[in-house]
Amino acid sequence: MIGNRGDMSAFAESFVREDIFMQQARNTAEELGTLDPSPAVGGLQKFLVETLRAKSIVEIGTGSGVSGLWLFAGASPETVLTSIDIEREHAASARAVFEEAGISSQRFRLITGTILEVVGKLADKNYDLVVLRPAADLMELIHEAYRLLRPGGILFIDHALSGGKVADPTQRDFDSISRRDGVRAVREDSRWSCTVLPVGSGVLLATKL
């Protein structure tokens, strides 16, 4: 076993640099209390978009727009983001920062409403990447993500480990239970190839086989 010779988490979080718009969105996140990716998780999102050459992305949990900015940072000019949130205030924050960053309104759809109802209207096998962030209805959203993704597309669950609480069976709060059940469900489903990364609050990555 390799000993811990330094703070790997702090190193990973400082490895990527957020631009002025990401910093602005993150400041707004503190005011709104939104759930957003850490800088290292944002960098991972950018890397995946570039690697997949993703043209069509669904994000569930818009937050303040931090995540969307990271997704666009790895995207081509043809990439379209559909971002869904239950709170109009979150969508308004994301729209404002996207526009300030010079992202054309033709490249994103910000939709507010009941999450499962909105997701249920999206087309089958039409997306390269699905990002899930909220714990609510996570099992149902994982099922929907499989329907939405093209074969070879990737499911990205942010905050998948609740900062370590999922690994602790004594943690019985709603978020921990929901995420624990979601991680287990993906791992045990042979239609997915998956892995878990201890980045940010934990990330689960799964490829639709």
Is the pLDDT score of 3 beyond 90? Answer: no
Q: Which amino acid is at 39?
A: P
Q: What is the pLDDT of residue 6?
A: 74
* Tokens read off for 152: 């070879």
Answer yes or no: is 204 within a domain. yes
Answer yes or no: is 6 within a domain. no
Q: Which amino acid is at 85?
A: D
* Tokens read off for 96: 């404002």
Q: What is the pLDDT of residue 1?
A: 47
Is the pLDDT score of 7 beyond 90? Answer: no
Is the pLDDT score of 68 beyond 70? Answer: yes
Q: Which structural domain range is residue 85 located in?
A: 17-208
Answer yes or no: is 12 within a domain. no
Render pLDDT for 149-201 as a digit per residue (tens, 0 to 9): 999 999 999 999 999 999 999 999 999 999 999 999 999 999 999 999 999 99
Is residue 128 within 8 A of residue 57, CB to CB? The reply is yes
Question: What CATH number should be reported for the domain holding residue 130?
Answer: 3.40.50.150
Mean pLDDT score, 12-23: 95
Q: What is the pLDDT of residue 129?
A: 98
Q: How many CB atoms lie within 10 A of CB 177?
A: 16
Q: How many domains, in total, are found in the chain?
A: 1
The strand pair at 192-197 and 149-158 is best described as unpaired
Answer yes or no: is 2 within a domain. no
Is the pLDDT score of 102 beyond 90? Answer: yes
Answer yes or no: is 122 within a domain. yes
